[in-house]
Structure 1
Amino acid sequence: MRMRTIICHLRMLFWVPLLSAGVPGSSELLSEDIRYSGVAKLSVAGSCTGSWILPRGGAPEDAPAYLFSAGHCYSTSFGTSEVVRSREITTGMASFRYFIDTPAQRRVTVPVRRVVWASMANTDVAVFELGATVDALRRQGLSPLTLGDHVEDELIVRGIPVSGTPIEDQYLREAGCQFQGVFNLIEFVWTFRRFLRHDCADIRGGSSGSPVINRRSGEVVGIMSTTVEGESPCYLGTPCVIGAEQPEVLAGSYSAPVWGWNVCFGADGRFDPESAGCPLETRTAPVISGAPPRTIPRGRPWNASVPGRYRYGTIAERDGFCEHAAMGGWREGMILDPIPDVEGGYFLCVEAENGAVAMRHVRVDKTPPRLAPRFTFADENAAMVLRFEFSPAELSSYSYKFGAGADCDAPEGYLIYRRVPVRITGAGRLCLYGEDEAGNRTPPQGYDYGQGARIYRLTNGASLRESWLAPGAFATVFGTGLRGASATIVDHLGVRHTAMVLATLPSQVNFYVPEAVRLGRAYLEVGEASVETEVRSASPGLFFTNTEGLEQYGTGMRFRQDAEGFVGGLRVRLQVEPLEEGLERIRFLLPDDVKLRGFVSLWVRIGDWESNRMTVRLR
């Protein structure tokens, strides 16, 4: 029955934006247990997780209770050197006992009174004072966590992820992790120091602020900050490890270290960032204004303004942070030193008279976007409609022009796409290009319209990702004037193969590639349109039809015996069973001694070719 459903699904499969994300390993929902009751769902600046922390030696019963979470759970607009101290909060709430089997009336909801300390300068931590005492929370049956002084190899994260999680599963869950080292990071405008890297599962929206816990000692050593889930290095959702010649994206999640913070609690149980030995910054850093944006296409002066007296230095990111920069003498006025005209990242470091240091990071990027423009150009109600898909920072803006005789190589006449679909009538030529955040451009592309059938994009029929053809696989083309079109593949020997068409629209055709097509260069003819392509032995793709279990359906894998499966970060055996034309049943075979529960990411790899990734739930 499911097989027939997928065939029908393919016949009706037309383009919609699809998102698929996943992280290594697995997590499981927790049933009510006092040992886990100190973790709460936090609502201050969005949905986050927090944990009730006591100093290792305990605290008086009348001491206020403190909740540790991520800095961006207090504010998502932190400056790169900003520190917040003792600010009242009027609408924040922390909900404890957030288990899947706990009735809502048994949860413990406590107001968040104020933020004691928060920053995203080198760290990403916020410490909140709750509107309850230590004794009040204990009387509610809650159990606090404590801070550790070192990191173990085996870790646990407990949090409440919500993004991409079904509503019925948005409760406290736990995942085991491996500690993978300490790294310095850059993510968007922020620089993070000595963050813990780990392979914790199901780190997504809502997980921010989750406690990262030593499995053996049960002590908190990190506060969950970020994970790798995007495709633009060093941008939001794709932190870069820095310190080598070039920044590098390493898969996994990262947490801000909090070991050694026990000394920030006084004997009275109160959290005081100015306690002797407390490593937290409390001084006011200088404000840098007028400096260049985050990325620039070539070197230029810093043109930075700093109020008052200061001293400064600059350093390339591969050479270290501001403590390694050679600082000049005390001065006032503008900073006009040149940023080198060499690709790479550079820090401007400014020290105020109180010793606090502000840092501004700029990256010189001369490389064109590595992603091709993403767009649809479809026939809708007697007009062609142009839409673009953005992927900052690689595809941050688009420009286009159209008309009879439009010259795509001529710079004149291009318009900036304002995120409003563009309707185009008549006949002519569409020209477009994309730009990254620094302003580097993709090569211009040109497409004729209103002059018969055209093919703009060829994709795998399951994933709808740009691809080539493979014998016995489903494929999809996007273009114009395609309704009712037939499909023919002319292989490199000139032999014509008629493809079975499953469904057509004016802008899309789904079809099956005959198994007899020979490998090599080929021409695909769809109606009156044609495009040169290639036939390869495989084109792995997975259908987004089954969100549970390790049995899935895909296409483009039946003639390769070397296909590998991945369940999270675990490589597993794969069983590919050909079904009807183009359709394959894919079984991911876990070792007998591996038991996974929760949400995991699945994908297939054949040589250098990877399928799309999909997230499923294992019970």
Structure 2
Amino acid sequence: MNPAIVLALQLFGASELLRNGDGRNDAFAAVARFDNCTGFLVRPKASTPDSARAYLLTAGHCIDQSVTAVVRDRAVARTVIFHYFADTEARQVRIPAVRAAYSTMKGTDLAVVELAATIGELARQSIVPFRLAAAGAEAGEPVLSAGVPVTNIPDGEKFVRASRCTLGETAEVIEARWHWWSLHRTDCSDIWGGSSGSPLISRRSGEVVGMITTTNAGAAITEGDFRCSIGQPCEVVRGGFRYRAGTVYAVPVAGLPDCFRETGEFDVALTGCPLDPGRQLNVSNAAIAARPGAAWSAAISGTDFPRFRYKIVNEGEGDCRDPAGYSSPLPVEAGARITDRLPEREGRQHLCVIGVGSQPEQEPRFATLIHLRADATPPVIRPRFLMMEEPGRLHFQPVFVLPELGRYRYKVAGPDGEDCSDRESFREYLRVPIRVPRETVGRICLYGLDEAENPTPTVDLPMRGVNLFAGGVVNAASYGPVAPGSIVSIFGSNLSDEPVVLTDSAGAKSTLRVLYTDPLQINAVAPAGAAPGPAWIEHAGARVEFKIEPVSPGLFQGGGTLPDGTLLLAGTGFGTGPVELRVSGVRAEATVRRSEHAEGLDLLEARLPVRLRGWAPVQSAGNTIWLLLR
């Protein structure tokens, strides 16, 4: 046990910026900034001598983000900064990193980086290495994360921070093209960009039991293809996957001491080392998603093995590590490719490949795994775009929202009455904003496609005369549905100061109070007594149908905090409350009252059970905003 760590732990609650002017946090001097990541100095074994070369552990994606590569002995030219505390910048110690002894994102997310110093040389500068736990930690282990998050952290506070948390059960995890076995769930706070590679330190023993790798905390859209995409990891479960919102994942470090010689040198070939030695074939498939029934097109290449065996399992119904079910050996030759077809239903499949024909053969536990998702569901969000009137010209720019809106096709039709029905005449949007003479535009037609090329419905934007766009009556804060008494944004073309009239499902007509008008947008206030259900907006002879929901909350960007930590927020469509918010994953109940000075505006006050600082996502049922907490 390291008494200094255990003593310091008693000082922390939620994520806290560490200071060390008085030396009380010397135990965390070995937590380092490593470019845009965190790393930490380790003494692999108690017997490792001070004369041994120093090694830093960090996340594999901080070195190489290849899906299945295993990097060994790659030269690096980076700087590691120890003593990275907020109040001791003059005492920082900068050490060159000379090589990545090991790095991979295949099955785990871990890198071992050799430094241009010995353990003893760093110890003489008060940088005491962490000890690695020899055995795996159990769920429920109280831990502390210590890292250097930089995203969403105020300037002047981008130094080592610590957070109390608890180690959870392990899970098989998917994120975009990556796949990892046995990551621990955790509930650590303030895990943002820069936190990758942060050690998880047992609050009982002071030993490192895991390392932060990824999180889906703060995700704005958690439906459709957004689940399991980059920044939104999900878990493989029986029959498919499960998305656990607000979860932080960590790589276990059990067994890593067995990858170091008694002299302290890292060697992945040592007996007992649990890491993939990297002897494998190259397996790649261009697509990550395709329509049901489409064929795999997985290329097999490499020289480590003359032959390979493979199997394909439905997600949650098989395991690449199980030797059962692999094919007979097939030759690795030019153009070797796996072309099995996806099932005629939605779901993800895992392709497992092992090399054979030379000794030793590739163990199934180190099988190369890639996955392909069968997807027949159109995107869950409508095409998004920016449109602006410029002198004599129209500026139009589709907005990409990956992975659901990764491509767009469009058509700018002339004033001769051409419609949007013929998609064959659409062209690919090449990410160059469209600027056309205003008088030549009759309408703009647009649809988006997801990774499997499932299309959205076509958005038809007529630009001649006064038009109200279909789907263009929305909550002004969230761009979601409209609620009685909420502030509404109405989108169209050639809009004016003419009255805006709403007819609700009960047939009641109301002239809306208009807050703002330009040729493409009107902001107004829906009547508080409007009946939920189908409704219509009429303006200058144009008419569009939309739906009113009883409640449809949306937060406006902005807000602040009082000295006692109370959050002050503004929104619309919340109703009478109270409502539940999540602030950086922390639940908070908010009271709601209508503003006396701005019609349609809801004012929210929320008290957090813990004190948070920095940029934090604030989530309502309708949308997510980012707020700087001080």
Same fold (TM over 0.5): yes
Q: Which residue of 1 aligns with 2:50?
A: 61
Which whole-Å deviations, capped at 9, do the CAs of 1:25-57 have from their partners, x for residues lacking one? 9522111220211100002xxx11101111241
Give the corresponding residue for 2:593: 577
1:428-443 paired onto structure 2 within 5 Å:
428-443=442-457
The residue identity in structure 2 corresponding to 1:522 is A
CA contact (8 A) 2:582 2:619 kept: yes
- More deviation in 295-304 or 191-200? 295-304
Q: Residue 98 in 1 paired to residue 98 in 2? A: no
- The two structures, once aligned, show a CA RMSD in angstroms of 2.4
Q: How high is the TM-score relative to the length of structure 1?
A: 0.87
CA distance in structure 2 between the partners assigned to 1:49 and 1:336 by the alignment? 39
Cα 1:261–1:246 change in 2 (3 A) is: same
Aligned residue number for residue 399 of structure 2: 389
Query: Counterpart of 1:349?
Result: 352
After TM superposition, the structure 1 stretch with the greater mean CA deviation from structure 2, 550-559 or 114-123, is 550-559
CA offsets 1:534-560 (integer angstroms, 9 cap, x no match)? 333333222222254533232335643
Aligned 8 A contact 1:180 1:197 in 2 = yes
Paired residue for 1:242, among 231, 236, 240?
236
- Alignment partner of 2:390 out of 380, 384, 388: 380
Amino acid at match of 2:83: R
Amino acid at match of 1:428: G
1:455 is aligned to 2:469:
yes
Residue 288 of structure 1 aligns to a residue whose secondary structure is: strand
- 1:85 aligned partner: 72
Provide the C-alpha distance between the structure 1 equivalents of 2:585 and 2:286, rounded to a whole number of angstroms. Answer: 39
In the other structure, the counterpart of 1:281 is 276
| Change in 2 beyond 3 A, CA 1:598/1:177 | farther
2:550 and 2:220 map into 1 onto residues whose CA distance is 29
Letter in structure 2 aligned against 1:220: V
Partner in structure 2 of residue 124 of structure 1? 109
Q: Distance in 2 between matches of 1:527 and 1:125?
A: 62
Q: CA deviation at 1:64?
A: 1.0
The answer for the alignment partner of 2:8 in structure 1 is none
- Residue 292 of structure 1 and its aligned partner are, at CA, apart by 4.9
Matched, 1:554 2:564: no
Equivalent pairs counted in the alignment come to: 578
CA positional deviation for 1:483: 4.5
User: What residue number does 1:200 align with?
Assistant: 188
Cα pair distance change 1:412/1:571, threshold 3 Å: same
Task: Report the secondary structure of 1:322's partner residue.
Answer: coil
Per-residue deviation, 1:145? 1.2
CA distance in 2, matches of 1:615, 1:493: 38
> Aligned partners of 2:262, 2:446: CA distance in 1, in Å?
65
Written as runs of structure 1 = structure 2, the 5 A alignment for 1:265-414 is 265-289=260-284, 291-303=285-297, 304-307=299-302, 308-324=306-322, 325-332=324-331, 333=333, 334-342=336-344, 343-353=346-356, 354-356=360-362, 357-403=367-413, 404-414=416-426
Aligned position for 1:191: 179
| Partner residue, 2:122 | 137
SS of corresponding position for 2:380: coil
Mapped partners of 1:344, 1:439: distance in 2: 16
| In 1, Cα distance between equivalents of 2:300 and 2:266 | 35
How far apart are 1:441 and its partner, in Å?
A: 0.9
- Aligned-residue sequence identity (percent) comes to 34
1:112 aligns with 2:126: no
For the residue of structure 1 that corresponds to 2:27, the secondary structure is: helix
2: CA distance, partners of 1:391 / 1:164: 21
Q: CA deviation at 1:517?
A: 3.1
| One-letter identity of the residue aligned with 1:363 | R
Structure 1: 5+ residue runs without aligned partners? 1-24, 605-609
SS in 2 for 1:247: strand
* Cα gap change, 1:71 to 1:485, in 2 (>3 Å): farther
In structure 2, distance between residues paired with 1:536 and 1:347: 41
Separation (CA, whole Å) in 1 of partners of 2:498 and 2:169: 56
1:526 shift after superposition: 4.2
Query: Which residue matches 1:71?
Result: 60
Query: 588, 591, 595: which one pairs with 2:606?
Result: 588
Q: Which has the higher contact order (CA 8 A, sep 6+)?
A: 1
Contact in 2 for aligned 1:38/1:96 (Cα 8 Å): yes
1:494 to 492, 495, 507: 507
| d(CA) in 1 for partners of 2:287, 2:469 | 38
Q: Does 1:254 align with 2:249?
A: yes
Q: Which runs of 4+ in 1 moved over 6 A?
A: none
- 5+ unaligned residues in a row in structure 2: which ranges? 1-12
